[in-house]
Structure formats: C-alpha cells, structure tokens
Amino acid sequence: MHDFVYYTPTRIIFGKNTEQQCGGLIKARNCGKVLIHYGGQSALRSGLVDRIKASLTAEGLSFVTLGGVVPNPRLSLIRQGIELARSAEVDFVLAVGGGSVIDSAKAIAYGAANGGDVWDFYMSLRKPDACLPIGCVVTIAAAGSEMSSSTVVTNEESGFKRSFKTDMARPVFAVMNPELTLTLPAFQTACGCVDILMHTMERYFGHGSNMDITDSISEGLLRVVMHHASALRDDPANYESRAEIMWAGSLSHNGLTGCGSDGGDWATHMIEHELSGMFDVAHGAGLSAIWGSWARHVLPERPDRFALFAERVMGVARAESNTVTGLRGIEAVEAFFRSLRMPVSLKELNLAPSGDQIEEMARKALVGKAHIGSVKKLLQPDIAAILMAAR
C-alpha cells in the first residue's frame, strides 16, 4: 500500500428538504454576502433558487446572483462572476447545480480572492494564495465536485479544457437532497452514473501494490452504482436509487477509493477533456466512448488487474489467462454502458474527428506534461491510437 493523506473537510447535509438549511449553514461561518451561482434553467424552473434565496433572507444574509453556467463551464462567465464578486464584496460563493456550476463557482472563488488572471492557475503558471469559501447544493449526481479539490474549466478562446486542484477549493458544505435529481433527463442521469463509475475505475487501475481495504470499498461501490444505474434507467422516480447514486458520487471522488493507490490512471479523463474542449460533449458520454479503447490499449501492462476487476466487479468467470479474462471484463463494461444507452465509440457519440483533429487532441493532452496515464505512460502516438481505435 502506498503512503497517503486523506483529507475530506466537506460537511455533508444529506436528505429531503435539506436545501432549506443553506442560510443557517452560511451564517454559522460568519459570512454575510453571498454570490448564488447556478446553471441554465433547471434550478430556476424547479423553484430551487427561490427556495435558497428565502433561506438566506430568513437568516438576514444578503446576496447577488449569477446564472447561465453551461456544461463544460466557460471562462468568460467566470470572469464576469469574479468582477461581480469583487464589486459586491461577497464573502461566500454558493453553487446551485452540478459539476459545471460547482467548478465555475470554485474558479470565481479563486479569482475573487487573488489578483491577476484566474486562468493562470489552470495553465500551471502560478499558484493561488487564497480562495473564498464555497458551499454547494447538488442537483445532479455525477462529477463529485461537491467533495473534490478540483475544478475543470473550458477556455473557449483557446479550446483548452483544464483542471486545477488545491484543498482550498474543497466546499465547506454540500447540501445533497436526492429529490432534486428527480427532474434529470435520462441521458444526464446515465452520464452521471458513468462518471461516478469512472472516478473509482481511474483510481482502481494503476501500478499500486496490495490494498485489500481500498479494493474492496471500490469493488463494492462499483457494483452498487451499476445496480442502481440500471434501476434508474427502468424507474427514474426511484428515490432510494437516486439516494444511493448521489452518495456514491461523492464517495467516488473524495479520495476514499484512491487511498493507498499510486494516484490512479486518469488517462481516460485527460483524453475526454480534449474531446470536450474540441467538441463540447457531455463528460460522461465522452468517457464511455473512450474507455474501452483505452482499456484494450493498456491491458497488456496489467492483465492481472484487469482480470481481478473482471471477476470481482463484472462477475466474469476466470478464463485460461488473465488477458482473456480481462478482455471479457472490458467487453462486459461496454455492454453495461450500452444497456444505459451510453456510447462506446466516437461514432456512437455522433463524432467523426479527422486524422488532424485526433493529432491535435493528442498533442494538446500533453501540453505541460511528459505523459498521461499510469497503467501505461501514454505518449502522443498512444493517445492518437486510442482515439483512432475509438472511432
């Protein structure tokens, strides 16, 4: 088992009507002026933003609002948010939405607390000294940003989608009411379930040594998410399944399933970020379209690990070799993604990138890095080969 630090400072308030507690949670931190940040439509249409405003008003808090965050959140709106946060002198940022809104809120919180251009942090040009406190009301179980240290932002001018992490951006609280996710379209629910699975799978595959406790938590989480993802496909109004998926989404990306690992692989995520940066695809759908091609490309490096995964998570019987067992596990994952009506190729994602576009994505994935991935250290030809195979 590798040495590790496990740090999860986020207070979780889980259950029905919990959004009514937002005002009290912020007041308890002695903050008085809040930026409420939300997405395109869903949080306004459902009345959620109004309920949150009422909760803040009841506690004597004042607020300004900024909506309009789109999936793959854009730097231009973040810049507007930073100006607003500075001019209104806000001391707390409340994200009401999914990963895109929470990540946009984290960027605003960095930008408002530091001078200069916030994009510098995402391009590793300098580090922030501070970050405003962030809280969130989660409306989709997916990215796990409510407990993670990361924020992922798209610079629409350069086409770069980049992540940045520090513990300063971990939300101080996350309000999680599974009922809020009942209005999700089936496609977004399925995208979220894929992302949740991938956050643990990225950590499961690497070059770690023995880690029975973490493996066992991860394998259990993956089986539970697959079970309830299927249940939600058939019965989207099932509260219990919504609740299981929502909590799994946080546990899958708060570091728990990576304790003792080598940090995990993350190449599928890195390659997906290039796809999203170029084609603006839904993150979960991009992941499912690429994962099988990545897995086949790197299988020869860790057939033992792929075989273990196939057996324990996908219920595949041991075959004559780890490679064959591993391959059957990969096929089982793709069959599962298909059962959720998620794409397992770029074609199924309605994309047909040219050879030049594939080379461009492979090149961009390595800007500022010597390689990506852990199972196999991927260089530009590997990344291009994975994208070609995914076509």
Residues that bind ligand NZQ (CB under 6 A): 39-43, 71-72, 97-101, 103, 139-140, 142-145, 148, 150-152, 180-181, 183-184, 188, 191-192, 195, 253, 269, 283
Rounded least distance, CB 300 to ligand NZQ, Å: 26
What stretch of H or E contains 22?
Answer: helix 22-27
Query: Residue 99 binds which one of Zn ion, ligand NZQ, none, with CB within 5 to 8 A depending on kind?
Result: ligand NZQ
Site track for Zn ion across 3-42, x = CB under 5 A = ----------------------------------------
Query: Is residue 195 involved in binding Zn ion (CB under 5 A)?
Result: yes
Q: Both tokens of residue 304?
A: 């033992």
- Residues contacting Zn ion: total by CB under 5 A: 1
Rounded least distance, CB 269 to Zn ion, Å: 6
Query: Is residue 382 involved in binding Zn ion (CB under 5 A)?
Result: no
Rounded least distance, CB 212 to ligand NZQ, Å: 26
Q: By CB under 5 A, which span of 3-11, 114-122, 193-201, 323-331 interacts with Zn ion?
A: 193-201
Cα–Cα dist 205/258, whole Å: 10
Using alpha carbons, select from 86, 8, 77 the residue that is nearest to residue 37.
77
CA distances for 72 relative to 16, 237, 288, 355, angstroms: 28, 27, 17, 24
Nearest 5°: phi and psi at 161?
-110, 120
Rounded least distance, CB 139 to ligand NZQ, Å: 4
Q: Both tokens of residue 339?
A: 């059962």
Query: Residue 180 binds which one of ligand NZQ, Zn ion, none, with CB within 5 to 8 A depending on kind?
Result: ligand NZQ
- Interaxial angle between packed helices 322-339 and 303-312, expressed in degrees from 0 to 180 and rounded to the nearest 10: 50
Q: By CB under 5 A, which span of 50-58, 188-196, 260-268, 363-371 interacts with Zn ion?
A: 188-196
Q: Are strands 150-155 and 160-165 parallel, antiparallel or unpaired?
A: antiparallel
Rounded least distance, CB 191 to ligand NZQ, Å: 6
Cα 325 to chain center, whole Å?
29
Between residues 109 and 143, which has the closer beta carbon with respect to ligand NZQ?
143
DSSP character for 156?
T
Nearest 5°: phi and psi at 384?
-65, -40
What stretch of H or E contains 303?
Answer: helix 303-312
Cα–Cα dist 224/203, whole Å: 17
Query: Is residue 146 involved in binding Zn ion (CB under 5 A)?
Result: no
Q: By CB under 5 A, which span of 87-95, 106-114, 123-131, 189-197 interacts with Zn ion?
A: 189-197
Query: Binding residues for Zn ion, per CB under 5 A?
Result: 195
